[in-house]
Structure 1
Amino acid sequence: MSIPANFRLHSRLALAVAGAVMASAAAGQEAAPRLVMEEITVTAQKREQSAAEIPISMTVMSSDDLREKRIQDFADLGVNTPALDVARGNSTNNPVIAIRGIGSTDPWINNNPSVSAYMDGVYLPFGSYLSMPLYDLQRVEVLKGPQAGLYGRNSIAGAINFVSTEPGDGVGGYLDLSYGRYGETNLQGAVDTPLSDTLLLRFAGYAAQGGGYMERAGTADSTAGFTRVPGVIPGISSRASSSDYGDKDVAAGRISALWRASDRLQVDLRVHYGTDGSEIVNSTNLTGDPLGVFQPEAGAVHVDYDDVAGEMDARNGGISLEVNWEGDLFTLTSLTGFESLSRDYTVGDFAPLRLAQPTYDESVDSLSQEFRISGDTGSTYWLAGVNATRDRIDYHRSLSSWDYLLGELVSGYDQDDESWSVFGQIDWQLTDSLQLSTGLRYTDEEKHYEGGSWENDPFGTSIVTAVYPAVAGGLYGESDYDDQDVSGQVKLSWTAFDNTLVYGAISRGFKSGGFDGSGIVDEAGFIPYDAEELVAYEIGVKSRLLDNTLDLSAAVYYYDYSDKQVLAILDLGGGITEAVTQNAAVSEVTGVDLDLKYLVDEHWSLGLSATLLDSEITEWNSDDPAEAAARIGNELPGTPGSNVTGDITWEGSAGDFDLRASVWATYTESTYRDIENTPSLESDSYTLVNARLSLGQPAQGWSVYLYGKNLADEEYRSSVRTLVGMEGAYFGPPRMYGVGVNWQF
């Protein structure tokens, strides 16, 4: 878990750039005081509290943080949050998430992430919902460690709260327009239009175009005309090479209404809708194809070798209604949410051949209802609630294999999920400085799966059923999964002295079981896999020191992680592989989190966030002793030994203008991307250096800014992909930079 020299080198470069920019801006100027150490308010425990008072390790990003670091999607959040790893699943469509090494490697649409995500309190049960853009948010709260007591199933690794900005009391808003490298245009804004003192409205919108940085190799000089059955199966079309592929085409909007019906009753309504017609960024082929027809360029990055250009056609919408009634003795809360996503897209097989090209037609609907009652007697805070959810998935995939299996494998299924739970939490103030918190949740869930796979053979050449005999004549079935779970936590907090909290916690969480979400090709595929379990032990401290100029938080933890759901790649022979989810691993994770923010003076601030992790598989469930021996001792995928982010900010004036300059760098140690710890699929260590410089006159409401991301143009793998014996990698974006204007009114 050492920090290599390249991080130190890039950090020195970042500091040198920052120093030059800031010194130049400040030279000869009387810098106006700007920076203050703000109190951070969060709703991590379903009520407003200071983050410093909550015995949970967390990273909180305010609206200013999100804007400055240009966090506009889930991948951006992962790059800027130590301990949060975000890998691609089916390109950008189903993000695969881990916190502190705990996470799923399953990219399919019906898989529940190990990190529960909430938008304005409404649970988003599937990773597909997390492909949404992030805009007009008041803050993002990343809670680390099991949060099963208040957040329930699938918060085994932690929880993420996205909190949108509430409507304001007066007319106002903002508009932000930027233009960057590769023609990336980004427009977002919001406007408050109160209808009365008690009824407030806010309209927010987001749009992104361009930004494609991939090269399309085309087929004209490689596989054009190729077919394994000349005169029967048509040859591959000829396509010329092109550049600037992967353009975004995203639009989204949200309407928020806040009704203060009385001093006791408040109603929040939010409605959102978005579309995505972006070009789909595929992985870069690293090894060539199993037929030996083409070979990728050695060392190439950001190259899409596929013979088809994928394009997304997605529509996402939802509505939430929160009603709060505050009585003399207790508060009642009702939260209703509905989320829907439908999309059609082709990902391709990252080769200029038709080996296994999947085309998807998917839709997901989720309905949830939660009721809570809470009260505070002064010495005791209590909360009790009940939650019910219902999800439906419709899935269809056509896997075209005209050059490999000489046919097409078609799969489809419907899945219905139902869950209900009761939960509660009590915080006892034992003494003036000692608090005991206990939380408990009972969950009951059922899942019904119905579907199967069949062969499509329009040319009379298919060998699909020869490879997958169970599919002959059509393979259909249905199956049920049901489970009950009791989870929760016990936390003891001690206010050692003013502004310092010391805590210890024992927590238990679980991740739901379920069904294979790709395409079943054997009867055994209808057998559901079981839930995961995790028991966590954590000791932490949060403190504000040095006359309120230094914020410090640290945590040390140990995880006992069992029944891990593993996406294992099975070798079926002849170069054919099948991805199967199974409960296979027992593992241990130990780690340290550290967060520092130092306000040097009214103009300078420094920040440091770091996570050190060590993970190890201690048991492996397999009938093959050789396989078990090969897995035991492996690291969990998505578990870098160290992850460090440092930042420096200067804010003051330059003549008649306000000036702000910031530089931040993120270092991530090498990371295995598969459970087998395949060396060729490992992500090497990398450092990303970023900067932003803004100039404006706040009194007049305007500012202009320059931004740069990955300024050292680091080449790094964000995730990997394997298919029919091929290996590919998704590389993070190259150097990106641009200019923007912001208008506050």
Structure 2
Amino acid sequence: MGLTPRSSVRRRQATRLSWQGRTAAAVVLPALLGCPLDATAAATPQPPHRASTPRSVTPARQRAATPSRPTPVGEDMTVNAARRAFHFSGAQHVADSATRITAATLARHNVVGLTGLQNLAPNVTIQSLLGTASTNFYIRGIGFSDYTQNNTSSVMTYIDGVPFPLSTMAAGMMFDIDTVDIQPGVTGTTHGLADTGGDVNIHTADPTRTWHAGATQDIASYARSRSDAYISGPLTDTLSFRIAGETIHGGGWQTSPANHTSLGDADSWALRAKLRWTPTARTTIQLTGHWLQDDSGVVVGKPVINFLASQKIPTLGYQQANWDLRPQFAHLIGRSADTKPSEHNTFWGFDLNMAHDFGFATLRSISAYETEREGEYTDQDGTTYASGDQYRNIVANSFTQELNLTSKDHGQPLQWVVGMTYNRVRMSQQFYFDFTAYVPLRGYLSETSFRQNQQTFNQYAHVSYRLPYHITLFGGINHEADDRQLLGLRTVHFGINDLNFTNEGASANQFAGTLGIQWQALSNLMFYYKMAKGFKPGGFTGNNTVVQAQLTPFGPETVLSYEAGFKSDIIPNVFRLNAAAFYYDYHGQQYISSYLVPSYGPLGMFVNIPKSEIWGIEFSAAIHPLPHVYVTQNFGYERGKYQKFMALNSTATNAYYTAHGVWQAVYTDFGGVDSGIPKLTLNGTADYRFNPLRHYELETGLDWMYRGSQALVAGGLGSYRLPAYFLMGAHMTFHPLSDRWSATIYAQNLLNRQYFVAGGQATTTYFWIPGAPRFIGGRLSVTF
């Protein structure tokens, strides 16, 4: 908030009343100065100029550079407009089922990383892979588990319109956020790159034309500290800037009784700077740069199965885990002998976003360069044995150029966008393993290294046409060509042998598209139906390689999707309900299965499932029944089934080895088997806000989430399936109506539940990654 005298604050309050209706104000005026939730959480009162642009016409990231502001008026202003009780009113007329989240909602739920977003949307799973900085996304059951991060994700992450084809690059960027959109379904006809699962669009705060500054200090259990600050304002009449930073430390809640260490302490520093130049009223040029240094510890998994009879699973408490690092391995990877499981990552990048309004259309160019330098040590067997220790070193960069032309509305029935996106990735990876305690099968140190080149070119067009009787037809098409090469892959078993493998290549070239209709039956009720074909290119299995067959490229996947839904403000300003039903006909689904190497053991390998299906329903409700009460509820139910799928049965193969000490492949026809995606996801909030003092507000509330069980392998049961879990949180915030400061106390995992968020296999063990216990904290924020 700008530096403004008290009289100006009163004028701003009067201005707010200029867009609130007399009737609505009479009903909900006591809550006017509160902070209602958005359409997927709760909604803050929202002036008309902040309405979202319909995605079928203009991508959300192509917002106006700086929204206009209401003109201050006197305190006797006549109230003559309808009050908007919920956020994103414009999105209620868009034919999609996206979850749109405000910065206030993110703060209320203490979301500071990508994985926290799954608690705010239906049918969404976002998991840290093996407790590391790598992130896997699943929306409506479509996702891709890729530890090596050398393939295209099924769900693309965008930050300020820039695609991040390597999801690890987006780690640590969730600070100074404006909004987040989670878009399910086929993408690629309005922006960016083609994908089968959807988008996660993160919009960070832009420079402002008036001076603003703020700082937040958050301190919580286990000595966790999070500090944020920003400053924004004009340098000249046409030049403005914004600088924001965040640092996070502590919070390590795991301990290791074997070596008396704590695990999981955060240690990260991040900085983002934006410079915006508006040489004319029609032209905007914005340069953004960011940097992140992350030396945080990682959470160690808890083994639930050990395939070696000589290695017993330790009996430990929920917040305990064991690990080891042999001096020989530390010397090999070039790290200190006292290194704990941790990251040592540096990310930096910049993008240039330029837009010019030609009157009939807006031309936009986005150029971006992102880099990744990742050094990560993990103990994947979760024991003191040297049988699953791993270190990976990744050096990668991504260059993206997008150019599009978007029509201006001007009340015309025809709207369109055409564009193209080019992306190029260069990377080199090294994977080190300590197998010295994995005897008699291995018993050595090893290294697998490779280089990969990739380039993708997507051209797209999208058009919508408004017919009489409030009916709109829309459709889009895209063509994507992808080419990638896996080069110089080599595996060294130190003291045993040196394996060199033949280069591999993969290419794909396909069309995809979407077609739909929407009907605005009433001003507060819209129906839509759409169908689409989605496409995602294939790739390679990296990581530990011992035979050429592991490097066989897997093919592209395609999805035929069908979706119908409605959006409604059943009782305006009181009850909003949005719902959708979907069916996905999945062909060539990319799946991490296993390849059994005789006398060695199973190794991960990507395969294509010939045919599978996913269907489900979801709804989001926002309720404001009383002046001080705000309730939201998201509901998602989905089912998946393999229709044609013959694969190695990991459960049976591991069980045979445990019983006989010999690796014997067991294959199973999984046709008709449930795919094991979490069937039920629930999340919601309940808040109560009132004014204990004339110029102050107190907000208190609860939030909750439930996630159904998840199979970790095809047909997985028992240890091969993550149990369902339920979490609850609470918060209380006190702040003046001027919002110059706020004080919050909160609890995460209020009931201190024990739960597990991911799992997998590492050589001798199958393990689960535990979730964080109860955290109690406080947060103080000031703005100027």
* Other-structure match for 1:724: 763
Distance in 1 (alpha carbons) for counterparts of 2:783 and 2:490: 55
* Other-structure match for 1:306: 323
* Other-structure match for 2:616: 591
Distance in 1 (alpha carbons) for counterparts of 2:771 and 2:369: 33
Over 3 Å counting, the alpha-carbon distance change for 1:59 and 1:627 in structure 2 is: farther
* Other-structure match for 2:403: 371
* Other-structure match for 2:772: 733
* Other-structure match for 1:332: 363
Distance in 2 (alpha carbons) for counterparts of 1:652 and 1:157: 41
* Other-structure match for 1:150: 190
Distance in 2 (alpha carbons) for counterparts of 1:343 and 1:569: 26
* Other-structure match for 1:261: 279
Following superposition of structure 1 onto structure 2, how do residues 637-648 of structure 1 map, counting pairs within 5 Å?
637=676, 639-648=677-686
AA aligned to 2:322 is: Y
Choose which of 85, 109, 132 in structure 2 pairs with 1:69.
109
Over 3 Å counting, the alpha-carbon distance change for 1:609 and 1:165 in structure 2 is: same
Following superposition of structure 1 onto structure 2, how do residues 136-535 of structure 1 map, counting pairs within 5 Å?
136-151=176-191, 153=193, 155-218=195-258, 240-242=259-261, 244-288=262-306, 290-297=308-315, 300-308=317-325, 309-349=340-380, 350-376=382-408, 378-404=412-438, 405-458=442-495, 462=496, 472-535=497-560
* Other-structure match for 2:675: 636
* Other-structure match for 1:26: none
Distance in 1 (alpha carbons) for counterparts of 2:604 and 2:476: 37
Whether the 8 Å contact between 1:200 and 1:257 is mirrored in structure 2 is yes
AA aligned to 1:254 is: R
RMSD across aligned C-alpha pairs, in angstroms?
2.1
How far the C-alpha of 1:33 sits from its partner, in A, is 5.1
Distance in 1 (alpha carbons) for counterparts of 2:599 and 2:308: 10
Whether the 8 Å contact between 1:575 and 1:725 is mirrored in structure 2 is no
* Other-structure match for 1:55: 95
1:82 is the counterpart of 2:122? yes
AA aligned to 2:129 is: G
Whether the 8 Å contact between 1:89 and 1:108 is mirrored in structure 2 is no
Whether the 8 Å contact between 2:130 and 2:301 is mirrored in structure 1 is no
SS at 2:206 equivalent: coil
Distance in 1 (alpha carbons) for counterparts of 2:311 and 2:33: 65
How far the C-alpha of 1:700 sits from its partner, in A, is 6.7
* Other-structure match for 1:114: 154
Whether the 8 Å contact between 2:158 and 2:201 is mirrored in structure 1 is yes
Whether the 8 Å contact between 1:475 and 1:521 is mirrored in structure 2 is no
AA aligned to 1:655 is: L
1:687 is the counterpart of 2:721? no
Whether the 8 Å contact between 1:288 and 1:296 is mirrored in structure 2 is no
SS at 1:525 equivalent: helix
Is the deviation greater in 678-687 or in 479-488?
Answer: 678-687
Whether the 8 Å contact between 1:429 and 1:435 is mirrored in structure 2 is yes
Whether the 8 Å contact between 1:204 and 1:254 is mirrored in structure 2 is yes
How far the C-alpha of 1:446 sits from its partner, in A, is 0.6
* Other-structure match for 1:569: 594
Is the deviation greater in 656-665 or in 275-284?
Answer: 656-665
* Other-structure match for 1:41: 52
Over 3 Å counting, the alpha-carbon distance change for 1:659 and 1:269 in structure 2 is: same
How far the C-alpha of 1:197 sits from its partner, in A, is 2.5
SS at 2:589 equivalent: strand
SS at 2:104 equivalent: helix
Over 3 Å counting, the alpha-carbon distance change for 1:151 and 1:675 in structure 2 is: farther
Whether the 8 Å contact between 2:305 and 2:719 is mirrored in structure 1 is no
* Other-structure match for 1:603: 628
Whether the 8 Å contact between 1:421 and 1:443 is mirrored in structure 2 is yes
AA aligned to 1:401 is: F
Over 3 Å counting, the alpha-carbon distance change for 1:43 and 1:733 in structure 2 is: farther
How far the C-alpha of 1:84 sits from its partner, in A, is 1.1
TM-score norm. by structure 1 comes to: 0.88
Is the deviation greater in 273-282 or in 562-571?
Answer: 562-571
SS at 2:129 equivalent: coil
How far the C-alpha of 1:131 sits from its partner, in A, is 2.5
SS at 1:675 equivalent: coil
AA aligned to 2:742 is: S
How far the C-alpha of 1:204 sits from its partner, in A, is 0.5
Distance in 2 (alpha carbons) for counterparts of 1:31 and 1:140: 25
1:261-320 residue CA offsets vs partner (Å, 9 max, x unmatched): 11111112111101000112221122246152332217x423321113212111011111
How far the C-alpha of 1:150 sits from its partner, in A, is 2.2
AA aligned to 1:306 is: W
How far the C-alpha of 1:681 sits from its partner, in A, is 2.1
* Other-structure match for 1:7: none
1:743 is the counterpart of 2:762? no
Following superposition of structure 1 onto structure 2, how do residues 541-556 of structure 1 map, counting pairs within 5 Å?
541-556=566-581
Give 5+ residue unaligned stretches, structure 2.
1-29, 37-42, 64-87, 326-339, 650-664
How far the C-alpha of 1:402 sits from its partner, in A, is 1.4
Whether the 8 Å contact between 1:167 and 1:257 is mirrored in structure 2 is yes
AA aligned to 1:380 is: L
Is the deviation greater in 678-687 or in 330-339?
Answer: 678-687
1:539 is the counterpart of 2:564? yes
1:463-508 residue CA offsets vs partner (Å, 9 max, x unmatched): xxxxxxxxx4422321211110111100100001112110000011
- The count of corresponding residues between Structure 1 and Structure 2 is 680
How far the C-alpha of 1:667 sits from its partner, in A, is 1.1
Distance in 1 (alpha carbons) for counterparts of 2:445 and 2:518: 59
Over 3 Å counting, the alpha-carbon distance change for 1:675 and 1:421 in structure 2 is: same
How far the C-alpha of 1:544 sits from its partner, in A, is 1.2
Whether the 8 Å contact between 1:34 and 1:602 is mirrored in structure 2 is no
Identity %, equivalent residues? 19
SS at 1:175 equivalent: strand
SS at 2:305 equivalent: coil
Is the deviation greater in 447-456 or in 209-218?
Answer: 447-456
Distance in 2 (alpha carbons) for counterparts of 1:410 and 1:188: 40
AA aligned to 2:367 is: T
Whether the 8 Å contact between 1:360 and 1:398 is mirrored in structure 2 is yes
How far the C-alpha of 1:678 sits from its partner, in A, is 3.6
Whether the 8 Å contact between 2:595 and 2:648 is mirrored in structure 1 is no
How far the C-alpha of 1:630 sits from its partner, in A, is 4.2
How far the C-alpha of 1:569 sits from its partner, in A, is 2.3
1:720-743 residue CA offsets vs partner (Å, 9 max, x unmatched): 021224111001111111111010
Distance in 2 (alpha carbons) for counterparts of 1:289 and 1:526: 26
Distance in 2 (alpha carbons) for counterparts of 1:423 and 1:362: 32
